[in-house]
């Protein structure tokens, strides 16, 4: 496995984002593959440690005090990220957590973006956020784009550049695949599948999000030849194609409704399902499961043969942002090796900054290796950009599954 070879600098990627030749999916895969076992284990920690150990210098006096209001994912700002930033800068951080993109979108719609200086869209939601018209462009001169892995810079530029301006920058990346109780089930990468969830022995013991489970079923059906869909990418073509595919997925999902122990809707809910609510296996984000694994709980997480569903969360600035200079100081900190490593170490997700992986603990590195064994990084399934019509239809089918 090799690291990204895109030589484009952050600034160049921003300027030419509209003409970027690398697709969003290709950029996601390329960036994720930067974190191979070789990268994690052999990159020099000395360089990263030296860079992170230096004093944090706030160059603009206007940004060395005041406050910052974040609309953020509830599990992506782990301790001690905010206290460290506040101590280094004197800026007070206020957070409004959410657990689903739909919840974030609803809050921004309700306020027109008012009350927040930064929000955290997932990269594939670019078309929806463009339609919302609540964001202002970011100033690339105030971003540390050269510190971010080039493929993630390209991904944000490719999907989030309109009117010649950039509206998104990376924060952390992760995936959705299979998590399970290691004391109650034994799984092997060579046979692991999204279809494994529907084994008779797991009846009444499965967790997942309705719309994600439908996607997983579709990927499994495509891989087994039961429903050819170009790895579900055909569902993104238009509404008719979506309905043709999902009209075949939904009946199967409903027939397996009794397999579901719980539908999770947050990181905490995912964890409680595995530890307290009788869940044995599920389709979940990597962060919650790997956080439990790091704590020594009998939980693990692994990509299936159809490929882990990958995503990139980032930062965008609402039009109504009031603490703009403070927001850019926050982005500089998150894009330092220290900040990016802190985010990954505490959340169980993955860093987006060059060299930040060298600062991760041995446990975090081991978890990454075991989550993506063998050729798993070659099989990743990056979430494509989702038009507004897609999100609306997906929600309708997910609700039918949930309500069945």
The per-residue pLDDT for range 286-321, each reduced to its tens digit, is 999 999 999 999 999 999 999 999 999 999 999 999
Measured CA distances, 59 to 25, 328, 348 (Å): 37, 11, 32
Residue 216 domain-assigned?
yes
H or E stretch covering 135: strand 135-136
Say if residue 50 is exposed, middle or buried (CB neighbours under 10 Å; 0-12, 13-18, 19+). Answer: exposed
Residue 2 domain-assigned?
no
Q: Where are the alpha helices (DSSP H) in 3-146?
A: 10-15, 24-32, 37-42, 45-53, 81-89, 101-111, 126-132
| Domain co-membership, 251 together with 216 | yes
| Domain co-membership, 86 together with 97 | yes
- Range scoring the smallest mean pLDDT among 43-52, 137-146, 216-225: 43-52
Residue 235 domain-assigned?
yes
Residue 207 and residue 256 in contact, taking contact as beta carbons nearer than 8 Å:
no
The CA-CA-CA angle for residues 119, 146, 346, to 5°, reads 50
| Domain co-membership, 250 together with 170 | no
Residue 367 domain-assigned?
no
pLDDT at 50: 30
Residue 313 and residue 173 in contact, taking contact as beta carbons nearer than 8 Å:
yes
- Identify the CATH number of the domain in which residue 106 sits: 3.40.190.10
| Domain co-membership, 121 together with 30 | yes
Q: Which of 152, 171, 3 is nearest to 71 (CA)?
A: 171
| Domain co-membership, 282 together with 398 | yes
Q: What are the pLDDT digits (tens) for 162-217?
A: 999 999 999 999 999 999 999 999 999 999 999 999 999 999 999 999 999 999 99
DSSP 148: B
Q: What are the pLDDT digits (tens) for 315-343?
A: 999 999 999 999 999 999 999 999 999 99
| Domain co-membership, 136 together with 70 | yes
Q: Where are the alpha helices (DSSP H) in 224-285?
A: 239-255, 267-276
The token pair at 72 is 């953020």
* Residue of higher predicted confidence among 129 and 55: 129
Residue 368 domain-assigned?
no
| Domain co-membership, 167 together with 315 | yes
* pTM given for the model: 0.85
pLDDT at 27: 59
pLDDT at 259: 98
| Domain co-membership, 243 together with 280 | yes
| 17, pLDDT greater than 70 | no
| Domain co-membership, 80 together with 99 | yes
Residue 3 domain-assigned?
no
H or E stretch covering 381: strand 381-382
**3: Cβ–Cβ under 8 A, 6 or more apart, which residues?**
33, 34, 36, 39
Q: What are the pLDDT digits (tens) for 239-257?
A: 999 999 999 999 999 999 9
Cα–Cα distance, 246 to 309 (Å, whole number) = 18
Residue 379 domain-assigned?
no
Q: How far is CA 255 from the centre of its chain?
A: 30
| Domain co-membership, 67 together with 138 | yes
| Domain co-membership, 237 together with 340 | no
Residue 373 domain-assigned?
no
pLDDT at 65: 80
Q: What is the dihedral of CA 292, 296, 301, 302, to 10 degrees?
A: 150
The C-alpha R_g of the chain, in whole angstroms, comes to: 20
**385: Cβ–Cβ under 8 A, 6 or more apart, which residues?**
24, 123, 124, 126, 127, 159, 236
Q: How far is CA 187 from the centre of its chain?
A: 24
Q: How many domains does the chain have?
A: 2
| Domain co-membership, 170 together with 182 | no
Q: Which of 310, 311, 309, 316 is nearest to 331 (CA)?
A: 316
Q: Which of 286, 305, 292 is nearest to 369 (CA)?
A: 286
pLDDT at 357: 95
The CA-CA-CA angle for residues 277, 278, 282, to 5°, reads 100
User: Whole domain around residue 81: which residue ranges?
Assistant: 10-174+311-362
Q: Which of 161, 120, 118 is nearest to 314 (CA)?
A: 120
């Amino acid at each position: 496995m090799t690291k990204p070879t895109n030589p484009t600098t952050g600034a160049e990627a921003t300027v030419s984002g509209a003409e970027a030749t690398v697709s969003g999916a290709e950029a996601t895969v390329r960036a994720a593959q930067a974190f191979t076992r070789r990268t994690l284990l052999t990159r020099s920690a000395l360089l990263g440690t030296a860079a992170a150990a230096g004093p944090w210098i706030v160059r603009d006096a206007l940004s060395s005090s005041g406050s910052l209001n974040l609309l953020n994912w509830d599990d992506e700002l782990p301790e001690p990220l905010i206290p460290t930033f506040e101590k280094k800068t004197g800026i007070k951080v206020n957070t409004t957590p959410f657990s689903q993109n739909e919840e974030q979108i609803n809050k921004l719609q309700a306020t027109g973006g008012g009350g927040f200086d930064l929000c955290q869209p997932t990269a594939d939601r670019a078309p929806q956020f463009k339609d919302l018209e609540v964001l202002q462009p970011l100033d690339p001169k105030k971003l540390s784009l050269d510190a971010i892995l080039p493929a993630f810079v390209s991904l944000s530029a490719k999907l989030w550049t309109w009117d010649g301006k950039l509206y998104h920058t990376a924060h952390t990346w992760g995936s959705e695949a299979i998590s399970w109780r290691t004391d109650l089930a034994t799984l092997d990468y060579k046979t692991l599948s999204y279809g494994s969830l529907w084994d008779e022995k797991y009846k009444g013991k499965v967790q997942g999000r309705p719309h994600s489970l439908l996607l997983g079923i579709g990927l499994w059906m495509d891989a087994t030849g039961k429903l050819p869909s170009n790895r579900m990418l055909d569902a993104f073509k238009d509404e008719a194609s979506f309905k043709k595919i999902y009209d075949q997925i939904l009946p199967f999902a409903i027939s397996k409704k009794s397999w579901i122990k719980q539908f999770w809707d947050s990181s905490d809910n995912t964890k409680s399902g595995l530890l307290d609510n009788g869940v044995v296996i599920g389709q979940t984000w990597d962060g919650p499961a790997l956080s439990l694994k790091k704590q020594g709980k009998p939980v693990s997480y692994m990509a299936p043969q159809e490929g882990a569903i990958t995503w990139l969360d980032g930062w965008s600035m609402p039009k109504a942002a009031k603490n703009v200079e403070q927001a850019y100081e926050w982005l500089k900190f998150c894009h330092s090796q220290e900040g990016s490593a802190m985010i990954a170490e505490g959340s169980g997700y993955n860093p987006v900054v060059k060299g930040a992986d060298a600062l991760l603990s041995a446990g975090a590195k081991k978890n990454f290796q075991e989550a993506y064994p063998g050729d798993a990084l070659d099989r990743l399934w990056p979430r494509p950009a989702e038009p507004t019509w897609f999100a609306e239809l997906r929600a309708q089918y997910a609700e039918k599954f949930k309500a069945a």
